[in-house]
Amino acid sequence: MTGDMTVLDEMTSVSLQTDWFPSTDQAASYAAEALGFFEKRNLDVEIRPGGPGIRAANDIVTGDVTFGVALAENVVLASAAGGEFVTFFTTYQESSIGLMTHAEAGISDVHDLTVVQMFPGQVFWEVLKFENDLDVEEISFDGSTAAWLENSDWAVQAAGTTSPHFARLQGADPVMYTGTDLGFRTYQATVFTSDSYAEENPDVVRAFAEALQEGLEAFLEDPDPVIAHINDVFPDFEIEVGEAAVPTMRELTTSETTEELGLGAMDGQVWRDLADRMYSAGVIDNAVDGDDLWTNEFLMASIG
């Protein structure tokens, strides 16, 4: 890391609500915690694990948390509902979430799909269905791939970092298509706060963003200590799963944007396209200006 680091004048307590259980998807924050990148900037950070039904945007609006983690489309959803947020960091330049198929099915694009297991209300799927006029049988997904394993012509919602690993352990020959592969690019594990908090506390946001950048950089260079820390925090997260996720994470966390502007940086065109497509597909009833939802101003181009 080079450049001038932001250090707050006094220890400042903030909280981060993640969108799922501890895993390498939150590697940036857990690395910053474990390796002291928060502490050296005078940040005392409480990382609150997520899970089903937890929406960080709600907690930010009520003031229960300072920062939140979400898919970019969930920030758009919350903004369309009246929230005022600014996203200032993303772990993934392309979301790892998409569809997993069987190699023997020979599926190459969305028009080859016949049966899809999907959690209800997934934005990427709703947009793709609308834009491609898909007529596909949908089966509600409960998180278990048991039925998918027994049906070679099915596709199932999956995370590219971990789902293929589990599928291979069970004898399958999976093919993973991320949202970008299918025609829907979005950011994953974005970090955001309220417009008002960012306006009133820019140095806190900047210190937090820099710590996340440094954390992600450290993880990509040497993931093992961070994976071990996540396992300590949440023993259900297996070391082997974290190790299996690393190659895909290295692909999806870097891009031309990060090469120019640093890890965690974003491109406004992605936000504009995302908001416009969600509105056109009827996912949101109120149009949202994607340019209002993000900024790179708190990042250091020298990190990453």
Model pLDDT, residue 2: 45
Provide the number of structural domains found in the chain: 2
Model pLDDT, residue 3: 59
Question: Could you give the CA distance from residue 22 to residue 17 in angstroms, rounded to a whole number?
Answer: 11
Question: Could you give the CA distance from residue 83 to residue 35 in angstroms, rounded to a whole number?
Answer: 33
Model pLDDT, residue 169: 96
Of all helices (H) and strands (E), which one includes residue 47? strand 43-48
**Residue 1: pLDDT band by 50, 70, 90 thresholds?**
very low
| Residue where the block lists tokens 């789902």 | 163
Q: Does residue 16 sit in the same domain as residue 82? A: yes
Residue 190 CB contacts under 8 Å (≥ 6 apart), including other chains: 69, 70, 71, 72, 75, 87, 89, 90, 91, 266
pTM for the structure as a whole: 0.95
Mean pLDDT of 258-277: 97
| Tens of pLDDT, residues 37-91 | 999 999 999 999 999 888 999 999 999 999 999 999 999 999 999 999 999 999 9
Q: Taking 70 as the threshold, does the pLDDT of residue 31 lie above it? A: yes
Q: Does a structural domain hold residue 7?
A: no
Q: What is the CATH number of the domain that holds 120?
A: 3.40.190.10
Q: In sequence order, what are the beta bridge partners of 145?
A: none
Q: In sequence order, what are the beta bridge partners of 68?
A: 17, 192
Q: Does residue 191 sit in the same domain as residue 61? A: yes
Question: What is the extent of the structural domain holding 221?
Answer: 12-94+186-293
| Tens of pLDDT, residues 161-200 | 999 999 999 999 999 999 999 999 999 999 999 999 999 9
| Tens of pLDDT, residues 231-256 | 999 999 999 999 999 999 999 999 99
Q: Which of 272, 289, 99 is nearest to 180 (CA)?
A: 99
Q: Does a structural domain hold residue 304?
A: no
Give percent of the chain with pLDDT exceeding 90: 94
